[in-house]
Structure 1
């Protein structure tokens, strides 16, 4: 079977005929070694066809289609033009070797051309890429390098511009910056800005640390006080406004009067004040970053945020790399995300694997009992996986699913503690979908109903106008018909026939209208007062006589 090689270069599509190569009995190492020599490779592979791209935009479109595994119309026409034609009802006696298996499957589905992609074909295509400029005479090596460079820049620019995870990258860098800022401020790790500021200012006013515990408020008070000897009774109201407690403000003033700290020079006090201002600015900046993180998480992953919180959700997304990567992770991987070292150590030593990673920082794990922490982590990881997939692939920006999933986790906690049976996941998801449909109908349903009613009214009006026009066209004939006395008599007769059965029914039930004349009333009363039994008896006698006659005739 003949083998053709499809090569997608930066300058155009090329088709090569590998007539001197037999895959049977050939090892990949031997082919790899023979590909490097141009003389041997040119004897086995010949150029069968070449179709250059019309422009750089066309080259970019073709490159994007190949990367997505799509066969374009240009590629299809190129293959049909250069490959041998196959008669109807017969199989092709050749195959096409491609580098991308997705492209090969699409070509075989659309055109019926058999394609293959294996190590043997990839080594041959590597040789084609290595010696491509030698096969085409009109193409110079510098031209090929320029085309490759331009296509590479445009393709990379398009990938960065249309990156699906570009918003997630902002969230990733934001969370890393927040972690570094927290480490710098000394919230969790080592000696940093806050402890340094306490130590520095405690040489002047050591009693302030015991009165004010909050770092941010401590820096504000230190900037306000600066020199403890200047504090007086008049400074109590502004201190109370800073702290929010008047008793603590009085305690600070009294402690400043009997403080054991040493006095500082004016230059030292200026530096302490500047340091306090820097600490305040960093704290305010961290608060602003946290608010930005909350808004960003509600925009990117509202369901995951409502389920597990902003900080833990951001940690999961940043550790996975993006929201799409987190959505691709199964629940078992998400459960131990962040505990990779412990996992591989346990696998190496054949010990117990970890039950949770970053998900341990959720409040649900802390609320569960010791024996149920592993179960709760597994269940919460399952719900987080569902929430992340909904956020990644759903077009609606809603947190309804996250709220319902959070209710499920609360019910599971009650089940472990109190034994109350939780709801099924199917029922909860149906309730969430109903809530979303109701919310959408409330937002846009009224407008749609008004639009539909207005359209119906317009249709009715147009129909009525059309009927009116037709009636106006037939108006002379209608007037002539009304003027004809015979037609008027027929109408009266029809009307009289329709009204008679209604009057009879009303007379039987005694519901006679007031407009009836006294003669009609007497007649109807007489008919109603007459006994019906004699008539029925006579009818019975007549029937008996007829029956006896028929019996005599039979005899």
Structure 2
């Protein structure tokens, strides 16, 4: 059996001699590994191929860890292993540390590979005594190669990037939250402690930070006089409050306190002041770090809320992988699972509730704006994570979109399309305007777009007005056409009524009436010749004539009946 060992300096091929693989067990191999004199009789070095450079060593190491057979390793094995005639079975095997690499060697070369505890113990012994197998290596060369390869291999696996150190943001926001709690607790302790000596100071100075500074400055209230007003004014920021502190100290109801107690109170107040100042420094550091790591997310939702989202997700990459629905309820997991358990309403928002957009929205639109804001946060985090250019233009444009969405919910103003906004952002990013502030970014494009909107609105209003003008005309024309058709029908009916009814002689006691449509009345022709108005005059005149003409034959018939009856 042969052993393939991948060291930091090159590939080594070793042969095991004088062992029975079936009878040997792991314990026996472990005993033989400890002593090199005994282990050197079992294992002999067959061949060694050093790596050409550190980059080549890293490439080969990555290939071995992923189970890929490189061309160099394949040629090394084929050159140094015993050759087998075609059609004959291989009588040896190769022990490897990675099973995937063994399957790749078997598939490419047909050499059987073994990877078990028995082989791993042999490879452990080879690793322990490898420097003694290769006499060309000097003392310390192998350790240097291992150190360099270890650093480069770890860096390639972690994919270290200076501009994406989101771990600093996670630690900073956690420390900031802890400092807020601690500073508040310590300030309350200072208030309670110093109020025993100067209780009136609590009502005069409300701010915790200023209270600790005033307590440290005043110390013993009995020694406070009008000369301390300028110094108190610098601390408090108001001369009236400073005078009020001095007047309250003269008539204070607090008890006297010993110098040792004052020293302890002063030291503790100093700690509180230092913690508050460090908290401000940490906040400034977090803001600058967010501008470097996630500028678009910071421009959209703010540095603090963006840092909390990254911290809760675990990293910026994890946040970028989350869908918008997950970002929306990130931080409200307890409420979500409680709602699912009780079959109640699920929460509308999580950490993004601290954004100013949701606070400005009405109660009806809070859910809508939180969903829209989560969508934009997801887009901004993906741009920050996977973009090669460090710019905040996209975040500023996304913030403008959220502002427009708020106006749409409140006033009904139609927002711009996402395609147009992203085109503007791409133009600004391509022009290299990465130093544009929020006001500048909002000023120029919005004015242009408002001008375009006004033009579009004017065009739309003109088109709508034209449509409004055209549609009634079309309706009036249609009505006129309908009226004309009705009039023509009436005229035809009237013309039919203008026809003279001719009575036929009675045959066999039956009466028959026929209409002669070819005969027209003379008054109609007279009206047409006298010309003028064809329709209404000749329509009115024949009606009376028709009635008279229709009545005359009936009268004649009645007279005939009377005569015959007589």
Q: Which TM bucket (shorter chain)?
A: 0.5 to 0.7
Residue 182 (structure 2) pairs with residue 204 (structure 1): no
Q: Which residue of 2 aligns with 1:215?
A: 208
Q: Which residue of 2 aligns with 1:324?
A: 317
**3-state SS in 1 of match to 2:212:** helix
| Residue 142 of structure 1: how far off its partner (Å) | 4.5
In structure 2, runs of 5+ residues without a counterpart are: 14-24, 30-45, 87-95, 133-139, 437-566
Residue 160 (structure 2) pairs with residue 157 (structure 1): no
**3-state SS in 1 of match to 2:176:** helix
| Residue 356 of structure 1: how far off its partner (Å) | 2.3
Moved more, 325-334 or 63-72: 63-72
Distance 2:434 2:242 in 1: 56
After TM superposition, the structure 1 = structure 2 runs for residues 425-440 of structure 1, keeping only pairs within 5 Å, are 425-439=418-432
**3-state SS in 2 of match to 1:385:** helix
In structure 1, runs of 5+ residues without a counterpart are: 16-34, 40-48, 88-96, 116-120, 187-191, 444-555
Q: 1:184 aligns with which of 169, 182, 185?
A: 182
Q: Which residue of 2 aligns with 1:542?
A: none
Distance 2:74 2:332 in 1: 49
| Residue 215 of structure 1: how far off its partner (Å) | 0.8
Confirm or deny: 8 A CA contact 1:38 1:131 kept in the other structure.
Answer: no
Confirm or deny: 8 A CA contact 1:64 1:155 kept in the other structure.
Answer: no
**3-state SS in 2 of match to 1:391:** helix
Q: Which residue of 2 aligns with 1:283?
A: 276
TM-score by length of 2: 0.58
| Residue 335 of structure 1: how far off its partner (Å) | 2.1
Residues 82, 286 of structure 1: alpha-carbon distance in 2 compared, 3 angstrom cutoff: same
Distance 1:253 1:262 in 2: 17
| Residue 199 of structure 1: how far off its partner (Å) | 0.2
Q: Which residue of 1 aligns with 2:236?
A: 243
Distance 2:300 2:201 in 1: 40
**3-state SS in 2 of match to 1:260:** coil
Distance 2:235 2:391 in 1: 39
| Residue 378 of structure 1: how far off its partner (Å) | 2.0
Q: Which residue of 2 aligns with 1:300?
A: 293
After TM superposition, the structure 1 = structure 2 runs for residues 79-228 of structure 1, keeping only pairs within 5 Å, are 125=115, 130=120, 133=123, 139=126, 142-143=129-130, 157-158=151-152, 159=154, 163-164=160-161, 167-186=165-184, 192-228=185-221
Residues 346, 219 of structure 1: alpha-carbon distance in 2 compared, 3 angstrom cutoff: same
Q: Which residue of 2 aligns with 1:389?
A: 382
Confirm or deny: 8 A CA contact 1:10 1:147 kept in the other structure.
Answer: no
Q: CA RMSD in A?
A: 4.7
Residues 129, 371 of structure 1: alpha-carbon distance in 2 compared, 3 angstrom cutoff: farther
| Residue 71 of structure 1: how far off its partner (Å) | 6.3
Alpha-carbon displacement from aligned partner over 1:200-238 (angstroms, at most 9, x marks no partner): 010111111111111111111111211112222222222
Distance 1:127 1:10 in 2: 22
Q: Which residue of 2 aligns with 1:374?
A: 367
| Residue 270 of structure 1: how far off its partner (Å) | 2.1
Q: Which residue of 2 aligns with 1:485?
A: none
Confirm or deny: 8 A CA contact 1:304 1:388 kept in the other structure.
Answer: yes
Q: 1:262 aligns with which of 252, 255, 263?
A: 255
Confirm or deny: 8 A CA contact 1:306 1:406 kept in the other structure.
Answer: yes
Residues 336, 75 of structure 1: alpha-carbon distance in 2 compared, 3 angstrom cutoff: farther
Confirm or deny: 8 A CA contact 1:12 1:50 kept in the other structure.
Answer: no
Confirm or deny: 8 A CA contact 1:56 1:151 kept in the other structure.
Answer: no
TM-score by length of 1: 0.59
Q: 1:420 aligns with which of 392, 396, 413?
A: 413
Distance 1:67 1:413 in 2: 53
Q: Which residue of 1 aligns with 2:226?
A: 233
Distance 2:355 2:312 in 1: 16
| Residue 194 of structure 1: how far off its partner (Å) | 0.7
Distance 1:184 1:203 in 2: 22
Distance 1:229 1:331 in 2: 62
Would you say how many aligned residue pairs link Structure 1 and Structure 2? 391
Alpha-carbon displacement from aligned partner over 1:456-501 (angstroms, at most 9, x marks no partner): xxxxxxxxxxxxxxxxxxxxxxxxxxxxxxxxxxxxxxxxxxxxxx
Distance 1:104 1:124 in 2: 7
Confirm or deny: 8 A CA contact 1:59 1:151 kept in the other structure.
Answer: no
Q: Which residue of 2 aligns with 1:91?
A: none
After TM superposition, the structure 1 = structure 2 runs for residues 41-56 of structure 1, keeping only pairs within 5 Å, are 53-54=50-51
Moved more, 327-336 or 155-164: 155-164
Residues 267, 257 of structure 1: alpha-carbon distance in 2 compared, 3 angstrom cutoff: same
Residues 357, 127 of structure 1: alpha-carbon distance in 2 compared, 3 angstrom cutoff: farther
Confirm or deny: 8 A CA contact 2:97 2:123 kept in the other structure.
Answer: no
| Structure showing greater Rg | 2
Residues 379, 235 of structure 1: alpha-carbon distance in 2 compared, 3 angstrom cutoff: same
Confirm or deny: 8 A CA contact 1:336 1:356 kept in the other structure.
Answer: yes
| Residue 343 of structure 1: how far off its partner (Å) | 3.4
Q: 1:404 aligns with which of 397, 402, 413?
A: 397
Q: Which residue of 2 aligns with 1:74?
A: 72
Distance 1:104 1:376 in 2: 56
| Residue 308 of structure 1: how far off its partner (Å) | 0.8
